[in-house]
Amino acid sequence: MNELWIVALSESQSKPNQYALILEDTVSKRRIPLIIGQAEAQAIAISMEKMTSVRPQTHDLFAAVIQQLGATLVNVLIYRFESDVFYAKLVLKDSQNQILEIDARPSDAIALAVRLGCSVFALPEVIEQSAYFFDEKTRDKKGSYAEYTLEELEELLKKIIAKEDYESAVRVREAIARRKS
């Protein structure tokens, strides 16, 4: 399992009323973008900014229930990526120290993780299928595009476009054009 950190949360450029939550693998520094709803984005942002609302929000309520039951949120695990959909689970330890796994949307699970101060992880295969390198400029200066075959560059381009990282897509397109000429 690889630990992920939240590195950005912003409005999606291509999907109105949606937000892009960007997670970064702490080891490889690759990034995973999750498109999430406005309510989940707000829940994550409020907690990250240490803001409080007058009344408990849904994620606050669920966090309070976990605590009142004597359970602990051990971590969040993003365990599958299929047909552009991420799957996650809450890993809880109950009052008898038994491990419980509960299926959850990644956005809801991350909102709880932020509130309860636990880590978010992803399986290596999820990172392989969905992540991309953020710092394509640095990678280009190091000459690492030379390590890719033309087919690998074209596959990388598809992944980057799917993740809405259009600046990196331009650089990869340029590398493909140089390779073809």
Is pLDDT of 146 > 70?
no
First to last CA, the chain: 41
Position 169 scores a pLDDT of: 75
Position 99 scores a pLDDT of: 97
Share of the chain above pLDDT 90, in %: 54
Given pLDDT bands bounded at 50, 70 and 90, which one contains residue 147?
low
Is pLDDT of 79 > 90?
yes
Is pLDDT of 143 > 60?
no
Mean pLDDT of 77-106: 96
Separation CA 77–CA 152 (nearest Å): 28
Given pLDDT bands bounded at 50, 70 and 90, which one contains residue 145?
low
Position 133 scores a pLDDT of: 82
99 beta partners: 93
> What is the CB neighbour count within 10 angstroms for residue 29?
12
Query: pTM of the predicted model, to two decimals?
Result: 0.73
> Do the Cβ atoms of 113 and 73 come closer than 8 Å?
yes
How far is residue 53 from each of residues 10, 111, 132, 143, measured CA to CA in Å?
A: 21, 15, 35, 49
Residue 136 or 71, more confident: 71
> Do the Cβ atoms of 106 and 123 come closer than 8 Å?
no
Paired tokens of 152: 């690998």
Q: Write the DSSP symbol of residue 144.
A: G
Q: Write the DSSP symbol of residue 53.
A: -
